[in-house]
Amino acid sequence: MSLLVVGLSHRSAPVSVLERASLSADAKVKLLHDTLAAEPATEATVLATCNRIELYADVDKFHAGVAELSTLLAQHSGVALEELTPYLYVHYEDRAVHHLFSVACGLDSMVVGEGQILGQIKDALALGQELHTAGRLINDLFQQALRVGKRAHSETGIDRAGQSLVTFGLEQLAVRTPVAEWAAGKRALVIGAGSMSSLAAATLARVGVAEIVVANRTAERAERLAEILVASGTGVAAAAIPMAGVADELTRVDLVVSCTGATGLVLTADDVLAAVSWGSAGGLAPAGQEEAGAEPQAASQGLRPRTPAPQTPPATAGRGPRAGLDLAPAVIARLVAAAQGGGRLADAGAARTISAAVETDGCPVGPDGRSALTGVDANSLELHGTWADQGEAAAQRQPRKSARTHTDATAVRLALLDLAMPRDIDAAVHRIPGVRLVDIESLAEASADAPMAADVDAVRGIVAEEVAAFGAAQRAAHITPTVVALRAMAAEVVAMEVARLDGRVPDLDERQRAEVTQTVRRVVDKLLHAPTVRVKQLASEPGGAGYAEALRELFDLDPQTVASVSRADAADPMNDDDPGRAS
């Protein structure tokens, strides 16, 4: 086994680098094709998630493999190699197996113990199989990783150590309020209809949101997800809208979860500012106070009637030169004074929020961010942003724990959860009063202080046990072609000697010839049994790879015969007759 993994993750690289290095579906395909075209690699697959990009390959040269795989990752991610290199990690042979098994169990996840990674490992294996880049080693490795991950979840309480990224994100949005209590009765917008978005929608339905609207570029997928939600039995109302309707929907919802495969921003700061400004100006009817006689929206999906929003919200910042109303000179003066004074902004830690609970000294928006927000133009918002950034810098200079003061989640007008990589939502929205943003970066910061469950140690024990078993099985499988070639040579010798006996003793009848043949075969089998069993045992131990070479030398086996057996075995990765196959 010459397994090599080169990659980067949330543990080795900042989110800004992970975001730039993310791989599109086409980039994954090209990366795998180019990896196999490279000389050191014979098979490969790629595991790319929001939190990691890892290239797994079977290589025949370690140093050449590291250089080639690193270069290919840089080439297809679009990040220069010299910039990417400081964040890359390399694992080889048993360490590579240990790493993947740990990943499969959720030990290396941002939220320890989350089970979504198993689906992502399954997808990585399926991609390698579909492209025919996954051979015997990759198939065995990833299938065993899936089994190890399932074993960890079934035999330990690792699920208590963490939850899905969606649930963890909702906890950060809810601050100190129970998620079910915080989410009850809320209207939510889910942008995207892929696996993560579907998980988010299902989680929202489970925790008790009243309505879910799904927006996706492919209308059929959004409609299908909405139908599944309605039929889920949770009582949630659901409907699908086109992506063009997202801007209007922002003025109506309390919560947005976005996870798309887009390479650019899906929601800009201007979009969010426009929605919050419009809602604050009276364009948003509170839940339960819709106009009488209003047409029910998506009645077939069970959505409650709402006040129809105007076709176009009022012009806001970023929609044209000085599109919004200017702030009063006194307010601008206070903004400048606050920025120059370096006033401190209370940092929520897990998210960036300006709301009613922040410290107001030096901040011109006052405790009611929504009323102060109306009419803010882009230039004025930047002044406020300067003040906020200085406050954040001051908070970062404080001890980590003291900087993690919590805001009141009830003061948030719009909660945003961005689970995409690269990000879907402009990070600048954290400067908008009444808006709370949780994204991959803030989740990473929050998870650093999350307590580790006692069951993590039990999972580590399982991983260590499974790594040893997998390594032994692979080493034993490595000698199997040599043993098969040895037995084939012995059978050929028996056949030759029986033929020679026929020529020298032609008077033997069929029964006698059969008895002689069987006797010779038994002798050969008994002579070979103990050595072949013992050599498999020795080969399964660390450092046992040399026994196959010794066997070939001792019996003068033809290397081409051994190679042909290996090729035939690799062509059938599901061959259950192979005693060295990992179970």
- The DSSP code sequence of 227-254 is HHHHTTSS--EEEEE-GGGHHHHHTT-S
In angstroms, the CA 28 to CA 55 distance is 10
First-last CA distance in the chain: 17
In angstroms, the CA 564 to CA 129 distance is 22
- Cα 551 to Cα 4, 40, 528, 555: the distances in Å are 27, 26, 12, 6
Helix (H) or strand (E) holding 378: helix 378-397
Spatial contact of 52 and 6, defined as CB atoms under 8 Å apart: no
Q: Hey, what are 362's tokens?
A: 């030096």
Burial-class residue 142 by CB neighbours within 10 Å (0-12, 13-18, 19+).
Answer: buried
Q: Which residues are catalytic?
A: 50
Q: CB neighbours of 522 closer than 8 A, spacing ≥ 6?
A: none
Q: Hey, what are 130's tokens?
A: 């579909």
In angstroms, the CA 119 to CA 209 distance is 26
Residue with tokens 């006040």: 307
In angstroms, the CA 485 to CA 490 distance is 9
Q: Hey, what are 447's tokens?
A: 């998870």
Q: Tell me which residue of 145, 140, 143 sits closest to 106, measured CA to CA.
A: 145
User: Parallel, antiparallel, or unpaired: how do β-strands 435-438 and 352-354 relate?
Assistant: antiparallel
In angstroms, the CA 531 to CA 469 distance is 22
Residue with tokens 């009582």: 235
Q: Hey, what are 55's tokens?
A: 């290239």
User: Parallel, antiparallel, or unpaired: how do β-strands 255-258 and 187-191 relate?
Assistant: parallel
Spatial contact of 56 and 90, defined as CB atoms under 8 Å apart: no
> Could you tell me which residues are beta bridge partners of residue 89?
7
Task: Write out the E strands in 287-355.
Answer: 352-354
Amino acid (one-letter) located at 447: S
Question: 10 Å Cβ neighbour count for 545?
Answer: 13
